[in-house]
Structure 1
């Protein structure tokens, strides 16, 4: 159940020069007014690096749900299966996304799976092709969505993996799991590329003008802790900045921010002004900053009139 009094906004800022330029003319009046009414929550903020396997908004959401938030080991797949009411059988789980790796002389780039044109029938057909290879290494694959399967097996119990969002459109080599812990996955990557390169599955896709699928990405690994988290009211995650940020389309990103400010952020401001306790979490690619409404002293109120807390003053902290 989403909590409309707690908004979590991923990709609120970026250190990218294009984003920095887009922010210069970005006016977010409702966000600025809201921030003057909120107090920082350092204990719920998060500090990381752009090279962290788990993005700051993922770590923030995991903490809100009561899930482990260790970098690269947030058990999103097990949590997803639990939310569906499906048995976990005491296993560690992972997401597996079929994808295309574009290989050049100095990069191996993971293409966005949503651009591959996979439907349920073709995804299930591909799963049937590769499942026996995974099974030989104790990994069982289960269909979930066209661009995402579930996998279970002991390999995922303590394996840190980079989230799909971290590696989209980037060189996968910087985001591969530790070789010593993931020899099996590294070998499976090589085997899948050899298997699928000349497979009839890809021949048929090529005949229809669809991109080749030659690899996969594993993420969201781990078992659910015991006892299972109760899933207290989760924040509302506003993901409308995501695609523009990942594609570095900063003009679209700025327009999406303006729409968020005029919509959900303005609604949260009205709640705060009406005396409803509210929370806000802003996340970039490194850090997440948390805020909440809390009683303020007269001195704090007076100070906010002359030194208001604005998004422009904190965006470089994200």
Structure 2
């Protein structure tokens, strides 16, 4: 269960010019009041760039869960098994998502897997087709969800992978998996090519085409890593606010602004009320470059007075994200 006293907001800001212009004219009174009341937690701050493997929101969540936060090496698949009560047994695990790559002269774009309309029956049938190819390279695949399988094997060890949100509707070549083991990296690169060739003319896709469904011609590997033992969470699991992410990725800044205003009038207003009632709260804001976290701590009278004269604080915070 998520902790309603800790609100984590992915895509709270963006380096995009459209996002910056939108924020310049956006009134968020409850957010501004919260930032004036709360204190920055420098131990939770994180800075990267738009091309890092792990998104700032992933890093912030991993920190709260007590997971490793090294870029691209947050072991989400192994942690998922631990949450199911299954042993990760020290092995390297990863998620494999069947998807569609749209190849053009200058780009290789990953489409949204949700638009493939894969159900469990189709996903399991596809898994049966590709699993033997992975097995030849020491990677065992098992079913988890229609658009996500579990993978286990030595080639996944110490592998930096990017989350789906990092590559969604973008050029995948920026975030191809990279490992310290060059042979493992080459193995995955070959598997990417083999799966494209296998699925290009496969009867599985012929059948989907006859039904007017999108073809599946590739896969994406993400959440790779090892988790020898389940971590002890450092705090409660934060409540993650999802409303800004899809709009920011689609650069629909008008709708993003409306979502921000709804967020300010709803969850942020509630968090502000809790803070004003003296309850401990935490607010974590994530952009596409960094994380800033704020929490309640005892403050001196001078600090309280100074917070009343910080109209630039909100702008300073979002410019860093």
Q: Give your verdict on TM over 0.5.
A: yes
Equivalent in the alignment of 1:222: 225
Task: Give the drift of 1:256.
Answer: 1.3
Task: Give the drift of 1:309.
Answer: 5.7
**Aligned partners of 1:36 and 1:309 also within 8 Å:** no
How many aligned residue pairs are there? 317
**Aligned partners of 1:67 and 1:225 also within 8 Å:** no
Query: Moved runs in structure 1, 4+ residues, more than 4 A?
Result: none
Residues 95-138 of structure 1, C-alpha deviations (whole Å, 9 max, x = no match)? 11000000001100000111111111111111111011111111
**Aligned partners of 1:99 and 1:213 also within 8 Å:** yes
TM-score, normalisation: structure 2: 0.96
How far, CA to CA, are the matches of 1:120 and 1:51 in structure 2?
Answer: 33
Equivalent in the alignment of 2:151: 151
Aligned pair partner of 2:306 in 299, 303, 307: 303
**Aligned partners of 1:32 and 1:309 also within 8 Å:** no
How far, CA to CA, are the matches of 1:186 and 1:45 in structure 2?
Answer: 34
Equivalent in the alignment of 1:104: 104
Task: Give the drift of 1:245.
Answer: 1.0
Equivalent in the alignment of 1:68: 68
Aligned pair partner of 1:252 in 246, 252, 255: 255
Mean CA deviation greater in 234-243 or 276-285: 234-243
Equivalent positions of 1:115-130 (< 5 A) are 115-130=115-130
Cα 1:207–1:93, aligned 2, differ >3 Å: closer, same or farther? Answer: same
Equivalent in the alignment of 1:43: 43
3-state SS of 2:257 partner = helix
Q: Determine if the alignment matches structure 1 residue 194 to structure 2 residue 197.
A: yes
How far, CA to CA, are the matches of 1:254 and 1:211 in structure 2?
Answer: 32
Residues 146-169 of structure 1, C-alpha deviations (whole Å, 9 max, x = no match)? 111111111112111111111111
Equivalent in the alignment of 1:27: 27
Equivalent in the alignment of 1:161: 161
How far, CA to CA, are the matches of 2:256 and 2:201 in structure 1?
Answer: 39
Q: What residue ranges of structure 2 are gaps of 5+ in the alignment?
A: none
How far, CA to CA, are the matches of 1:274 and 1:281 in structure 2?
Answer: 20
Task: Give the drift of 1:23.
Answer: 1.5
Aligned pair partner of 2:188 in 171, 185, 188: 185
How far, CA to CA, are the matches of 1:27 and 1:99 in structure 2?
Answer: 39
Residues 39-85 of structure 1, C-alpha deviations (whole Å, 9 max, x = no match)? 11111111111111001111111111110000000000110111011
Q: What residue ranges of structure 1 are gaps of 5+ in the alignment?
A: none
Output the aligned Cα RMSD: 1.3
